[in-house]
Amino acid sequence: MKRGKLSRNQYVSFSIRVNDYSARSDAGINSSLLSHPCDVKDESELVHHFETKLEIIGECIDAGDSSGHRFDIYLFGDSKVNERIPRIRDLQERDSEGEDIYRTYRGKQYPVYKQPPAVAYLEKIWGKDRWLSSIWVTPQIVTDALLILSGLKQAYVSIHTIKEKRHYRILNLSVQTVNPTEE
């Protein structure tokens, strides 16, 4: 019987030179209140709505298959993003009875953790040399990225991913003034 080869996760990095960016920051009344009263789905929603969006457009400068591909990265500032991120203790593996699982290493017990969730996903547009990602981050990250982009130096985006089958899980994304190919 012939066996298929095991699929292994592959670490893939992308270095992107920023060509353009656009930003928007909104403050307003919750749109549910501006329409018919039956449109209010959740009365615990805030009366005011705040949103910050930063769109970064760049070109991959890595040698290889993705060289020259366009990358569209959307950063959304959300003050509640930290409430949705699990804590390290939430990732600890548990057995069928709900007890924490530990591994022994050199005579000491260490907790076993599940794989952490991705920061976001990077999607290749089928049939095109284009990639997309939407990432919800704290408003401070959007502000910091905008400061870097508006400076006099050339800006870059560095993305580190794990490719699992056809999906790219983003482990780290940074906006920087140092060319990632030279690091």
Q: Is residue 92 part of a domain?
A: no
Give CA–CA dist 58/15, Å, rounded: 9
Q: Is residue 148 part of a domain?
A: yes
Average pLDDT over residues 140-163: 95
Total domains in the chain come to 1
SS3 176: strand
- Residue 112 pLDDT > 60, yes or no? yes
Structure confidence by residue, pLDDT tens digits, 114-143: 888 889 999 999 999 999 999 999 999 999
pLDDT tens per residue, range 158-176: 999 999 888 899 999 999 9
Instruction: Say how many C-beta atoms besides its own lie within 10 A of residue 167's C-beta.
Output: 13
Quote the pLDDT of residue 123.
95
Alpha-carbon span 181 to 75, nearest angstrom: 23
- Is residue 3 domain-resident? no
The tokens 């952490």 sit on which residue? 116
From CA 174, how far away is CA 180, in angstroms rounded? 10
Backbone angles phi, psi at 144, to 5 degrees: -60, -45
Q: Is residue 23 part of a domain?
A: yes
pLDDT at 7: 57
What mean pLDDT is predicted for residues 94-102? 91
Residue 3 has pLDDT above 70, yes or no: no
pLDDT of res. 34:
76
pLDDT score, position 21: 97
- The residue that leads in pLDDT, 80 or 125, is 125
16-69 pLDDT per residue, tens: 999 999 999 888 887 777 777 666 777 777 788 788 999 999 999 998 899 999
183, part of any domain: no
Domain contains 32: no
CATH number of residue 22's parent domain: 2.40.50
Overall pTM surpassing 0.85 (yes/no)? no
* Domain span holding position 18: 9-27+47-78+116-178
| Domain presence at residue 139 | yes
| Cβ partners under 8 Å of residue 95, min gap 6 | 101
Across 76-84, average pLDDT:
85
Q: Phi and psi at residue 107, in whole multiples of 5°?
A: 80, 0
**22, part of any domain:** yes
